[in-house]
Amino acid sequence: MNILLLGSGGREHALAWKIAGSPLLTKLWCAPGNAGIAQEAECIALDVTNHAAVIDFCRANKVDLVMVGPEAPLAAGIVDDLTAVGIKAFGPSKAASQLESSKGFTKDLCTEFGIPTGAYGRFTNAADALAFVRAQGAPIVVKADGLAAGKGVVVATTLREAEDAVAMMFDGAFGSAGAEVVIEEFLPGREVSFFAFSDGETAIALASAQDHKRVFDRDEGPNTGGMGAYSPTPFVTPEVHAEIMERIILPTVAGMKARGTPYRGVLYAGVMLTPQGPKLFEYNVRFGDPECQVLMLRMMSDLVPALLAVCDGQLKHFDLRWYPDAALTVVMAAKGYPGDYAKGTGIAGLDAASSIEGVEIFHAGTSADGDQILANGGRVLNVTAMGRTVREAQQRAYQAVDRIDWPEGFCRRDIGWQAVARETGA
């Protein structure tokens, strides 16, 4: 099979690595890719926002399957345009992508189909939003309705913070993404990421993971796209897993089908494990980054038949096998991230680092200058390792981190701390 992968991050490197291991693969391209992805795929400079150009490429190269990594092309309807001309593409339609591209859409779906989530209001003007915030009090969560690259959520601990967030969003801080604002009840509890494939009719669970969104150790500092992750998480017990499937994932799939916008693709549920049980606080319509990196390492089955089963509506009798081992990934980022940072700094020691048992290094934002690997983004490397326990995976990952020579980079030193504390009884 010929496969085209869209994207350029660590998520896409992990997907490329997994797809490249499939005996079904003939040729893999990635647009635009990065220096690490180039080891697995031919990277091509294709403008992914130009759907006609993507279609032309697929026709000229007999592409059998397009795998879409990030949310932006999905929200722009790339899967609709590809399938309309008979090209198979993995990911939800533009209408179904609203599960991520409109937080209000998802909240209304939850109300309609009884999916557990926090109480909320949707607002298109600051005065009404402020009145609601003042009536509810803090803590409270203020969210831009549309896509805001992970920055459109303010968890306000004081009324003042909530008022400022409302003002900032209606002042256009997130452009049209903030033209509508969702204000949501603060959900206390532990946050987990839960992944499932859906073919529009049914769903199968993939695995759980835990992300570390804050930039500094002990979960301090500003939010980021994710500084590290591990899977599985001990907090998603078999009972919690079953509850998330039955009360959140399956009603979502049934609801989307009933509304005439069936969901096909990977469903990434952000779930809070509250004292009242699991509650949904957001959906994403793509794999998490860096959660995908740990899922791909743990997946024993070939990914490609699963992608095809999702596209073809054949998930009902499908089964995926997983290694029981844990996987953990540490994000190495350029100093200054998530604020301003320098690009073009040199990175050495990658071969020595990846020679450690169980270690895979995925590139999140790199470019190559001859043999030299250069940082080319905020999140730059995902140092990923398998181990029998989260602790062993963590030790291997940090051993590999310590072999990487990149003075302009940094990482958190405590990825996986919650699971390690539970394993060691600390």
Select the binding partner of residue 291 from ligand GLY, ligand AMP, none (C-beta < 5 to 8 A, by kind).
Answer: ligand GLY
Min separation Cβ 153 and ligand AMP, Å: 4
Min separation Cβ 204 and ligand AMP, Å: 23
Query: Which one, 387 or 416, has the nearer CB to ligand AMP?
Result: 416
Query: Which one, 150 or 349, has the nearer CB to ligand GLY?
Result: 150
Q: Bridge-partner residues for 228, per DSSP?
A: 330
Residues ≥6 apart with Cβ < 8 Å to 378: 224, 225, 333, 334, 337, 338, 341, 365
Query: Which one, 136 or 389, has the nearer CB to ligand AMP?
Result: 136
Select the binding partner of residue 118 from ligand AMP, ligand GLY, none (C-beta < 5 to 8 A, by kind).
Answer: ligand AMP
Select the binding partner of residue 80 from ligand GLY, ligand AMP, none (C-beta < 5 to 8 A, by kind).
Answer: none
Contact 385, 396 (CB under 8 A): yes
- In this structure, which long-range contacts are made by residues 234-243, counting pairs with CB atoms below 8 Å and at least 24 apart in sequence? 234/390, 234/419, 234/422, 234/423, 235/190, 235/192, 235/208, 235/210, 235/273, 235/418, 236/192, 236/194, 236/208, 240/273, 240/278, 241/194, 241/205, 241/208, 243/277, 243/278
* CA–CA distance, 122 with 126 (Å, rounded to integer): 11
3-state secondary structure of 275: coil
* CA–CA distance, 263 with 98 (Å, rounded to integer): 10
Select the binding partner of residue 288 from ligand GLY, ligand AMP, none (C-beta < 5 to 8 A, by kind).
Answer: ligand GLY
Min separation Cβ 149 and ligand AMP, Å: 9
Min separation Cβ 219 and ligand AMP, Å: 10
Query: Which one, 161 or 302, has the nearer CB to ligand AMP?
Result: 161
Query: Which one, 274 or 345, has the nearer CB to ligand AMP?
Result: 274
* CA–CA distance, 278 with 245 (Å, rounded to integer): 10
Helix (H) or strand (E) holding 239: helix 238-244
Select the binding partner of residue 186 from ligand GLY, ligand AMP, none (C-beta < 5 to 8 A, by kind).
Answer: ligand AMP
Query: Which one, 183 or 353, has the nearer CB to ligand AMP?
Result: 183
Query: Which one, 16 or 147, has the nearer CB to ligand GLY?
Result: 147
Query: Which one, 116 or 288, has the nearer CB to ligand GLY?
Result: 288
* CA dist 28 → 24, 307, 340 (Å): 11, 15, 34
Hey, what amino acid is at 304? Answer: V
For the chain, the straight-line distance linking the first and the last C-alpha, in angstroms and rounded, comes to 49
Select the binding partner of residue 153 from ligand GLY, ligand AMP, none (C-beta < 5 to 8 A, by kind).
Answer: ligand AMP
Min separation Cβ 323 and ligand AMP, Å: 27
The sheet that has 89-90: what strands, in order across it?
A: 42-43, 27-32, 2-7, 65-68, 89-90
Select the binding partner of residue 191 from ligand GLY, ligand AMP, none (C-beta < 5 to 8 A, by kind).
Answer: ligand AMP
Which residue number places its CB atom closest to ligand GLY? 226
Min separation Cβ 18 and ligand AMP, Å: 24
Scored b (16 or more CB within 10 A) or e, 326-350 reads: bbbbbbbbbeebbeebeeebebeeb
Contact 87, 63 (CB under 8 A): yes
Min separation Cβ 16 and ligand AMP, Å: 25
Total residues found in the chain within this entry: 426
Contact 408, 335 (CB under 8 A): yes
Select the binding partner of residue 155 from ligand AMP, ligand GLY, none (C-beta < 5 to 8 A, by kind).
Answer: ligand AMP
Q: List residues binding ligand GLY (CB under 6 A).
A: 150, 211, 225-226, 284, 288-289, 291
* CA–CA distance, 21 with 19 (Å, rounded to integer): 5
Q: List residues binding ligand AMP (CB under 6 A).
A: 118, 141, 150, 153, 155, 184, 186-187, 191, 213, 223, 270, 281-282
Min separation Cβ 131 and ligand AMP, Å: 20
Min separation Cβ 11 and ligand GLY, Å: 7
Select the binding partner of residue 226 from ligand AMP, ligand GLY, none (C-beta < 5 to 8 A, by kind).
Answer: ligand GLY
